[in-house]
Structure 1
Amino acid sequence: MRRVIEELAEEAEQQIRAQAWVPAVADRDVAAKAAADLKAAVGASPTQEALSAVDRLAHLREALAVLAIALAHVHGRLAWFLGAAVTALAPVLHWRALPAEDGPTFGAVPPTSQQYTEAEDAIRRLQSTLATITDA
């Protein structure tokens, strides 16, 4: 997950540097809001790691919602970037933080601590790239 997000971020930043992608004002506005909302959803590593599994998962799902809402408001390269990011983070949607209590879980699985950290790091990287898009 982290590797895919890193590759997406590098590609977006390279396209902006090369001016192959010059984000429109509307795209920069959407990117700015998404960057701020992602930062609010997933805080610094020590803060996130101190949370319960339920809260960490809730914050990751909130970040996915931020990305989905941003995606709904854009077209072109920013939409492609956000769509690929949401796809890379899709495993979060299959995670559960509560015990199954011998019942069906609809395929949900408990993530490891490392998986939480990897997803949170990926969100932070996306936030950074969206801030770069805002400044383009």
Structure 2
Amino acid sequence: MQRAIEDVALEAERLIRDQVWVLTPAERLVVAKAATELEAAVGTPQSQQSLPAVDRLEHLREALAAVAIALAHVHGRLAWFLGAAATALTPVLHWRALSAEDGPTFGAVSPTLQQYTDAEEAIRRLRSALASMADIVIT
């Protein structure tokens, strides 16, 4: 997941740097909003690691929802970028934090703590790329 987000972020950064892709003011607003929502969903590593698995998974799903909502409002390169990011994050949709209690799980699996951390880091990298696109300062 981290590798896929890194690859798409680097490609977007290259296209923007080479002025192949010039974001419109409207696109900058969308990416700024998405960056803010990703920050709210998945804060610092320390804050996430102290949470129970069910809360971590909830935050990851909130982040994926923020990407999907941003995707719904754009077209062209930004839509392709956000679509690739959403696709990279889709494994979180198949994760579960609750016990199956011998019932059906619809294919959901329990991720490892490392998988949670990797997904959170991927989202932080995506947030960084979006913030850069929006020309906002990351603290």
Please indicate the TM-score interval, normalised by the length of the shorter structure: over 0.9
Counterpart in the other structure of 1:126: 126
Matched with 1:117 is 117
Match of 1:84 in 2: 84
User: CA offset at residue 135 of structure 1?
Assistant: 1.6
CA distance in 2, matches of 1:92, 1:53: 12
- Residue aligning to 1:105: 105
1:6 CA drift (Å): 0.3
**TM-score when normalising by structure 1:** 0.99
Q: 2: distance between equivalents of 1:27 and 1:55?
A: 31
- Structure 1 residue 59 displacement after superposition: 0.1
1:56 and 1:75 map into 2 onto residues whose CA distance is 30
* 2:105 partner letter: T
| 2:51 aligned partner | 51
Task: Please list every run of 5 or more consecutive structure 2 residues that lacks an aligned counterpart in the other structure.
Answer: none
Q: Which digits, 9 at most, give the CA deviation of each residue in 1:62-114, with x for residues without a partner?
A: 00000000000000111000000000110000000000000000000000000
Report matched runs for 1:21-40 at 5 Å.
21-40=21-40
Q: Partner of 2:20: helix, strand, or coil?
A: coil
Distance 1:85 1:79 in 2: 10
Mapped partners of 1:121, 1:85: distance in 2: 13
**Distance (whole Å) between structure 1 residues aligned to residue 135 and residue 54 of structure 2:** 34
Structure 1 runs, 4 residues or longer, greater than 6 Å off: none
Q: Which runs of 5+ in 1 are unaligned?
A: none
Distance in 1, Cα, partners of 2:86 & 2:61: 11
Q: How many residues align?
A: 136
Identity score, percent: 70
- Provide the C-alpha distance between the structure 1 equivalents of 2:131 and 2:59, rounded to a whole number of angstroms: 20
Q: What are the Cα deviations for residues 96-134 of structure 1, in whole angstroms up to 9, with x where unaligned?
A: 000000000000000000000000000000000001110
Deviation track 1:34-75 (CA, whole Å, cap 9, x = no partner) reads 000000000100110000000000000000000000000000
Return the TM-score normalized by structure 2: 0.96
Partner in structure 2 of residue 66 of structure 1? 66
